[in-house]
Chain A
């Protein structure tokens, strides 16, 4: 029972819980995506570091490093694909200029 791993694991679980609360409380799809894409990713990284300290074998180190790399690569790509797909399907009031529509209109 290492203190550092305990703190890291509890911090990661707390970040995931914050993400879950944000997904319930936020007001439109993009805000919810913001909560669901960022908080659990950092939570996963913290929990993986804590578990690597706790377990302490070479197999766990390599696998957890791979898991962290995969999550850090795949989470932004998934969130980006989802937000691009949902742009035309639902109408949300934008704060500022819609840059993707502007770019599509200006290009031939």
Chain B
């Protein structure tokens, strides 16, 4: 991973982590968690491209699906319980 990509992904992760830690309401925190999951997925793809191997690329598929299930389950939880 080159320095440019590392800095850009670090900026993104810092923003989402800020919103995760101090979003005033529960949906804000879910937004931060969802974005953080996207950053992790993108970082794994960039690492696989830099290592020039497709070995680690299957983990990305699992990460995307788990992130979707997490967001949907948390929004059901918010709908039932209240933010």
Contacts and interface: CB of A to CB of B under 8 A. Distances in A.
A29 B14 contact: no
Interface residues of A, number: 51
A51 B78 contact: no
B42 A23 contact: no
The B contact surface, by secondary structure, is: helix
A12 B16 CA distance: 16
Contacts of B48: 51, 55, 60
B9 A32 contact: no
The A contact surface, by secondary structure, is: helix
Interface residues of B, number: 50
Interface in A20-35: 20-24, 29, 32-33
Interface string A9-22: 11011101101111
Contacts of B18: 23-24
Contacts of B16: 19-20, 23, 36
A29 to B, nearest CB: 5
Contact of B57 (A5, A14, A59): A59
Interface in B3-40: 4-5, 8-9, 11-16, 18-19, 23, 25-28, 30-32, 34-35, 38-39
A24 B42 CA distance: 20
